[in-house]
Structure 1
Amino acid sequence: MTEPAAPDQALPETPAAASPADRPATDAAALPVLLLVDGSSYLYRAYHAMPDLRSPDGFPTGAIHGFIAMMKRLREQVIGAGPGGHAACVFDASGPTFRDAWYPEYKAQRAPMPDDLRTQIAPIHEVVRLLGWPVLEVPGIEADDAIGTLARVGAAAGHRVIVSTGDKDLAQLVNERVTLINTMTNETLDIPGVQAKFGVPPERIVDYLSLIGDTVDNVPGVEKVGPKTAVKWLAEHGSLAGVMAAAGSIKGVAGENLRKALDWLPQGQRLVTVVTDCDLAGHVPGWPAIESLALAPVDKPAMLDFLQRYGFGRLKNELAAELGAPAPAAAAGAVAVPVEGTAAPATPPGDAGLARHYETVLTREQLAAWIARLKAAEISALDTETDSLDPMRARIVGISFAVQPGEAAYVPLAHDGPDAPEQLPLDEVLAELRPWLEDAAAAKVGQNIKYDTHVLANHGITVRGWRHDTLLESYVFEAHLAHSLEKLAERHLGRRGLSYEDLCGKGAAQIPFSQVDVVRATTYSGEDSEMTLQVHQQLYPQLAAEPGMKRVYEEIELPVSAILARIERHGVLVDAGVLARQSQQLAQRMMDLEREAYDIAGQPFNMGSPKQIGEILFTKLGLPVKKKTATGAPSTDEEVLQELAADYPLPARILEHRSLAKLKGTYTDKLPQMVNPATGRVHTNYAQAVAVTGRLSSNDPNLQNIPIRTADGRRVREAFIAPPGHVIVSADYSQIELRIMAHMSGDPGLTRAFAEGMDVHRATAAEVFNLAPDAVTSEQRRYAKTINFGLIYGMGAFGLAQSLGIEQKAAKDYIDRYFARFAGVKRYMDDIRASAADKGYVETLFGRRITLLDIRGGNGPRRAGAERQAINAPMQGTAADLIKLAMIAVQRALDEQGKRTVMVMQVHDELVFEVPEDEIDWARSEVPRLMAGVAALSVPLLAEVGVGPNWEQAH
């Protein structure tokens, strides 16, 4: 290997990596392919993309599952199913490289590889070879350098080189014959692609990286210089050498930082340059020829043995059938069991061997045939295409169905593009479909079925028979991963379909779906239904193999989805007049605060401008600077202003002004604009598949985030009213997470306090301060309350000291006394942290699993955060499960008893109802009874009820 220039040598105008030798002007598409895979990048992708699976003997296999799927799919997509092609999967070797000798801090900040991933490296190397791929691992150099060298040699030898990676550093290799692909983002980087993505051509990528630095590899750049500045400088001065030569003329802080970095930049450039002349002799037979890198057929007999050893299921059986041999007998219990406790998903089947046919339904005869198939199917997938993302206002453009893998139908109904064919009348089609759509016995599956329920309800159809929702299946099975159909298809099917942007474009140029070509719309919507059906067939058996997860999915999430659809559809009544008056009052108070602030500052200034606020506070008034922003300016964020407000009047005025402006802009001004004119109500959207703990998320508008710690925030709830003849009833679980802590920890002191109906914070204070309960002061009770809730969130002495405004030593003393009196809580916290570190997850009382990705493999701060989450997540998740079970129990009672009471909101641990005046007594007694009865804990559940004409008075 020829080393690049030493740091004290002149900087080359163009790095060697960007100029492969002997580039004849040939059409690259006609050349044979050399496919190079950044195996080290793939390792982490596979590890994080899959659940933490285990073989029957407990060996981790998640990364192996993912790697097999990724390598099979890549070969099919780039090389094709037949023989031929050259390739290599390149991994980093263990041990130091020449860059570590150049710069000891190189990659020094990286967290160590998780143990579960490290143990899978050897079997991954083995299975990649069995799949026919040459594997390359060269001690002393990085995978990037081996890839760079192979790319240069392969291009010179007449190959079209494709590098599969997500590493931006390798963009410096791109030229007429070398292209990068990122299979995770479906991104291709050729020469124009590099220019478009980074703003510089491939031959300037090294200069670009030298200026901005590489935080992943711990290579400093020029301080405070980001991509925009780097691109600007390189455009003006041509190269890094040109930028350095012009350093004396570059003004401002960026220029000063550039001049400070001049001595470092040659070393930085050396570190980020991919070396393309490594000696690979002894690693690539016949080097420098690359004929030995020919892809081989899959070694199927050896592959079958491998799959048996590591507990694979479906893929092993398929391969055994293909070989004409009986599937190897499974060992006892030999279904790979993931750490999250689900049955191992089958290896994604990929695209090979599955013919697809998507039919555009344009005639009544076609429609009748498909309706007959839907009626005869065991389960059918359904998907709607619409003109809006707002579920309450969306109208159908088309509808698709699938009843078996590989086949789907799309019925266009409102396409109006220039080439749109004649379509069946929408009303006629919906009338024909209505009996099947409203048949509770006709089993249906969808992706985010709540949306399709709303869309069809907009057309007067009440869909019944929803059996499954792939969004919720994924949410319960793998809550820590993404749940879009695109991601589910990639993970579980090894497939990628058309995206919405592929059809409609992006941004201002995006067209409505109604103008999409019907043939392409058929492919897109047909894929959605057909992939939904396939994802369900792959995912549900894995979920159903675990009783806890199955219960959460079938007994909590699916029923709650139907209830949320009803809540959203009904909406909540808002008094726009109340909000208008509040807006006027807030505006007047903001003006008063502005005048006060101007008087204190001695001049007017923009209360919304951090720059002007900083100039007033720190330059004119000379207030102490607490911290600085990324650009070096004094920070005026809320934390800084809160600290300053304790001693100075102006920051307090600014904070109050900010609070009122947010309240006015977010709620009192905006809520009236969000009233649906057709219903006169506000219709929020409750997202189920967001928080890993199971909590719901409210948006458009967010009804769960109305600030209630201030009188102004609470007044916003006065605008949420009941219609004439009704009242608002609010039912709220009391201290639910503390009760769950008492149950989970079994601590006798906490348990006794709740069992005897004591004020738990006063009881805690009595224990911590060694007093009789009636001797506890309000301040001591406040301390105890902060400790009680702080410990639920894993708060330590530092956090408690900040919350209470006391010394850290005093806070530690309080915590020590707390744990001495409530030893069961301390034992629970220690046990749950240890259990989470062992398993990689925690569970709620009902079987919901919360994966903690950093509990074993994260760095120090991330692992500490995961340990805090391990303490809190079971309680917050159990509380989320309880309120959902309460929703189900109350709605069931309302339906069975024919009540006219309507559930209109769920806000964390609270349910809000519109109640007819003649059902108030029923709601007062039955709602809290039902909520308290959804689970039997070792301490009583308690729901407190309030009644009033509006939400604020009922709360």
Structure 2
Amino acid sequence: MKLLVLDGNSIVNRAFYGIKLLTTKDGRYTNALVGFMNILLKLQAEQNPDEVAIAFDLKAPTFRHKLYDGYKAQRKGMPQELADQMPVLKELLADLGYQMVTCEGYEADDILGTLSAACEARGDECVLATGDRDSLQLIGPHTTVLLASTQMGKSVTIPMDEAAVQEKYGVSPRQLIDVKSLMGDTSDNIPGVTGVGEKTALALIQAFGSLAGVYENLDDARIKRGVREKLVRDKAQAEMSLTLARIDRAAPVPTEPGAYQRTQPDAAAASALLTGLEMYSTLEKLHLEAASAPQQTAAPLPQTALQPLTQAPEIGRVFLYFQQDAPIIVYSENVYTSSIDSEAFLDLLANDRVQKECFDAKAFYRAALRAQRHARGIVFDAKLAAYLLNPSASEYSIAHLAGAYGASPSFACADAPDAPCLEPLCDALRSACAQQGMESLLNDMELPLAEVLAEMEHTGIQVDKEGIEAFGRELQAALTAELAAIYEEVGYEFNVNSPKQLGKALFEDLGLPTRKKTKSGYSTSADVLESLRRYTPVIDHILQYRTYQKLNSTYVEGLLKVIGPDGRIHSTFNQTETRTGRISSNEPNLQNIPVRTELGSRFRRYFTACEGCTLLDADYSQIELRIMAHISGDEHMRQAFADGEDIHRATAARIYGVSPQDVTPAMRSSVKAINFGIIYGKGAYSLSQDLGISVKEAEAFIQTYLGAYPKVKEYMDATVAFGKEHGYVATLYGRRRVLPELASSNFNVRAQGERMALNTPIQGTAADVIKLAMVRVFRRLRDEGLRARLILQVHDELIVECPLEEQKQAARILGEEMRKAADLSVPLVADVNSGDTWYAAKG
């Protein structure tokens, strides 16, 4: 028989600190629960035990506390975020049929010791899972410890047996008790012998076998005089520490075979609990499903099915979603499936008399466009509503959301299991959006934007394939030249892309000073290489080589892979990915097209207008700083924008106490760093890194800045205070971001939450403004009957492709609608330029 015993408190602590804070949409913490279940299920899969016991500590004092008042006296209480999860974890484990064990007066370690002793007595195998090295003393012929540890910043599990302990410490597992009696343990506040550390304690036990052996041989020449004096002075303390360190292996807990056999899980209770906690991946790992109603089947969508929809609106509401690539249509508990090119389905999409509620409206807009038609009458998108309500969710699916929002189906469908959930889910999400004041955000911004993004994806942007290929050949030649220069400097050929080989070349063969070590050897990261530039010219060649390689692999080869048959790139724009509301893109990621270097910015030359057309480009000028001026209400910052001043120059003049014309480039550059640093919630340390100054100087710089713009300081303080009180912050348009980090008892986590609280209202409002501008530009181009089309959005920049004869009108529309997208107390500036390539239009 094989028994797996988990040290519950140790494992849950590792889970809690090993996973960033996770919360449900109503603010309940779940990171410890998620982590603990991941560890438990992984251990079960790897060990395949016959029984599983999970030991927990009780709050009551143990025999060790009674022996020594100082035992664990310095321990801080459990963080509230973890304490809140403990009863929930135990409820979940009980629902799943696991046997938990506690014992008043004893610790979980003692339970581990007792169960392992019982197994050894029977000749059974025992595996102890813990992060506490104290349990290593329990290792024996039948007992193995799976020691949870951290190596190179990653969580690992180290199997420890007798040989492993002997190899690592040079003593037997039982002798570790004696080692601790000498060296003590600061985490448990076991005193040991003052002044004796691990190295000395190990040497003493290796030499004399035990604490008693040490004291029997105090006059041995191997014990130095200073150590001897410490041993004599603290003998009583050492003997007490021996008792404190020894795990009791006779705690009064059940030890008989079968005591820790899992009982039949209460699947319904576990499923309900996990669903309410939004722990969907755990549900899947446990293969748990909620009970369902009697099943019906989905019928093919006939053309005649549309007639009652259009002729008798009282039939009911119509709901649409995609199951894989097949559209599913639901109304009045009728479920239909269709092919994407079915005329019946396309007619339904195009029929504006039928109001349709969707899950992922963009997919339906795209489906209609592929058939050269337009979707009409889409009035709700459950996926977008769910994103607004919880932008931090790891995924959005009908099944998971239905569980999270209590959307219980009134019927079931075998062929389309999500179909019965869609109507109650739409109702629940619509109600939640209304309660949180996000109806307008959904109806006037996100839902219309879905149509805009679908059109942009469908239209795409033309690229110069031959130009990209030629640039690739140029980069390959540059790569070859840099490689030759690297080999010449080092003296031999090697794989520059191998960190191990590069580390050997730099730090062993060239003798450069080492900086960081990794698990596999020397670190050759960019920051390490930057710090070595002054020692040898080879570093410049390596950095340049990496630049060329990145440009070639990511952008040349990456772009060539995704050019469509029409010679255009059709990127996918993601509306539900970022936590601040920004749009992202992939295949390819056009948000990351390089612009900071001359070489990288050349890629914009290969994005071109089609024949007879031009590209119009408009980019908001310093929109986030303008939003800061508006939100904070700072008169000085507002006035600078109202007067059309260079905000960085104006800020430098105020901070340095000089006239604007006397501001030097260095002054302006440093102030630019703090202007944007404030927006992104940077502190003194980050600013010091940006400017190459001390943290103290950076802190003084920040204080001077906030003194020059006092309303900015008031905004920062008020925003963090609001976030801490309400648990979230919001943009000007009501977009919320929940920040459980603000309530963390961990300083670093809380500081991160404060940075996000400062950044989100600014960056999120900027995202909202660009989205509104996209909707306005798209609609006005369409309403005025132009062929011009919005084809690309990158950060705060919009690109329109238009026929040459429409250039003047389209440019006017683009500029006007971007400038009018938001009613701020400072002007929104967006100048429009044109050109036959993106590079030329960028100006």
Q: 2:317 aligns with which of 367, 379, 382?
A: 379
Distance 1:354 1:16 in 2: 36
Which residue number corresponds to residue 719 of structure 1?
606
Change (3 A) 1:954 1:785: same
CA contact under 8 A between 1:134 and 1:294: conserved in structure 2?
Answer: no
User: What is the CA distance between 1:434 and its match in structure 2?
Assistant: 3.2
Distance 1:226 1:856 in 2: 25
Which residue number corresponds to residue 161 of structure 2?
240
Which residue number corresponds to residue 652 of structure 1?
540
Which residue number corresponds to residue 748 of structure 1?
635
Alignment of 1:585 with 2:474, yes or no, is: yes
Distance 2:298 2:543 in 1: 59
Distance 2:117 2:380 in 1: 51
Change (3 A) 1:788 1:432: closer
| CA distances 1:852-889 after superposition (whole Å, capped 9, x unpaired) | 12111252212111111111111000000000010011
User: What is the CA distance between 1:554 and its match in structure 2?
Assistant: 1.6
| CA distances 1:504-536 after superposition (whole Å, capped 9, x unpaired) | xxxxxxxxxxxxxxxx9x73x511333333322
Change (3 A) 1:149 1:546: farther
Aligned length: 720
| Partner-residue secondary structure (3-state), 2:489 | helix
Q: How does 1:50-449 map to 2 (within 5 A)?
A: 50-52=24-26, 62=28, 93-94=58-59, 112-114=78-80, 169=129, 207=144, 209-210=146-147, 213-214=148-149, 240-244=161-165, 279=252, 355-361=293-299, 377-386=315-324, 396=325, 398-403=326-331, 409=335, 411=337, 430-449=342-361
CA contact under 8 A between 2:308 and 2:315: conserved in structure 1?
Answer: no
| Partner-residue secondary structure (3-state), 2:418 | helix
Which residue number corresponds to residue 159 of structure 1?
none
| Partner-residue secondary structure (3-state), 2:462 | strand
Change (3 A) 1:465 1:830: same
Change (3 A) 1:148 1:492: farther
User: What is the CA distance between 1:584 and its match in structure 2?
Assistant: 1.1
Alignment of 1:454 with 2:366, yes or no, is: yes
Alignment of 1:905 with 2:777, yes or no, is: no
CA contact under 8 A between 2:802 and 2:810: conserved in structure 1?
Answer: yes
CA contact under 8 A between 2:744 and 2:750: conserved in structure 1?
Answer: yes
CA contact under 8 A between 2:310 and 2:353: conserved in structure 1?
Answer: no
Which residue number corresponds to residue 773 of structure 1?
660
| Partner-residue secondary structure (3-state), 1:846 | coil
Distance 2:358 2:466 in 1: 41
| Partner-residue secondary structure (3-state), 2:456 | helix
Change (3 A) 1:369 1:551: closer
Distance 1:559 1:275 in 2: 67
| CA distances 1:765-802 after superposition (whole Å, capped 9, x unpaired) | 11111100001111111111111111111222222221
Which residue number corresponds to residue 336 of structure 1?
none
Which residue number corresponds to residue 539 of structure 1?
429
Distance 1:758 1:465 in 2: 46
Alignment of 1:810 with 2:697, yes or no, is: yes
Distance 1:572 1:797 in 2: 42
Distance 1:462 1:928 in 2: 27
Distance 2:71 2:149 in 1: 12
| Partner-residue secondary structure (3-state), 1:912 | strand
Distance 1:289 1:572 in 2: 67
Q: Percent identity?
A: 32
Which residue number corresponds to residue 488 of structure 1?
401
The alignment's TM-score, normalised by the length of structure 2, stands at 0.73
Alignment of 1:526 with 2:416, yes or no, is: yes
CA contact under 8 A between 2:617 and 2:799: conserved in structure 1?
Answer: yes
Distance 2:201 2:839 in 1: 59
Q: How does 1:580-659 map to 2 (within 5 A)?
A: 580-631=469-520, 633-659=521-547
RMSD value over aligned CA atoms?
5.4
CA contact under 8 A between 2:130 and 2:146: conserved in structure 1?
Answer: no
User: What is the CA distance between 1:137 and its match in structure 2?
Assistant: 7.6
User: What is the CA distance between 1:488 and its match in structure 2?
Assistant: 1.7
Distance 1:876 1:653 in 2: 37
User: What is the CA distance between 1:438 and its match in structure 2?
Assistant: 1.8
User: What is the CA distance between 1:357 and its match in structure 2?
Assistant: 2.3
User: What is the CA distance between 1:279 and its match in structure 2?
Assistant: 3.9
Change (3 A) 1:616 1:876: same
Structure 2: 5+ residue runs without aligned partners? 34-52, 119-126, 132-139, 171-198, 206-243, 269-275, 277-287
| Partner-residue secondary structure (3-state), 1:915 | strand
| Partner-residue secondary structure (3-state), 1:587 | helix
Change (3 A) 1:643 1:434: same
| CA distances 1:444-503 after superposition (whole Å, capped 9, x unpaired) | 23332323433454455543322222221111011122332143234224899xxxxxxx
Alignment of 1:861 with 2:774, yes or no, is: no
Q: Which has the larger radius of gyration?
A: 2
| CA distances 1:345-404 after superposition (whole Å, capped 9, x unpaired) | xxxxx9878624231426969968997999754323323345xxxxxxxxx5x4323336
Distance 2:143 2:353 in 1: 63
| CA distances 1:883-938 after superposition (whole Å, capped 9, x unpaired) | 00100111111111111111111101111110211222223333122111122112
Distance 1:824 1:170 in 2: 51
| Partner-residue secondary structure (3-state), 1:655 | helix
Alignment of 1:552 with 2:518, yes or no, is: no
Distance 1:151 1:367 in 2: 68
User: What is the CA distance between 1:672 and its match in structure 2?
Assistant: 2.1
User: What is the CA distance between 1:538 and its match in structure 2?
Assistant: 2.4
Change (3 A) 1:476 1:557: same
Change (3 A) 1:752 1:604: same
CA contact under 8 A between 1:134 and 1:295: conserved in structure 2?
Answer: no
Which residue number corresponds to residue 178 of structure 2?
none
Change (3 A) 1:586 1:858: farther
Distance 2:306 2:108 in 1: 58
| Partner-residue secondary structure (3-state), 1:551 | helix
The alignment's TM-score, normalised by the length of structure 1, stands at 0.65
User: What is the CA distance between 1:147 and its match in structure 2?
Assistant: 12
Structure 1: 5+ residue runs without aligned partners? 1-13, 20-37, 54-61, 68-87, 154-166, 172-202, 216-221, 250-258, 265-270, 282-287, 299-314, 316-349, 387-395, 414-425, 497-519
| CA distances 1:830-857 after superposition (whole Å, capped 9, x unpaired) | 2212221222211101100011121112
- The amino acid of 2:161's aligned partner reads L
User: What is the CA distance between 1:94 and its match in structure 2?
Assistant: 4.0
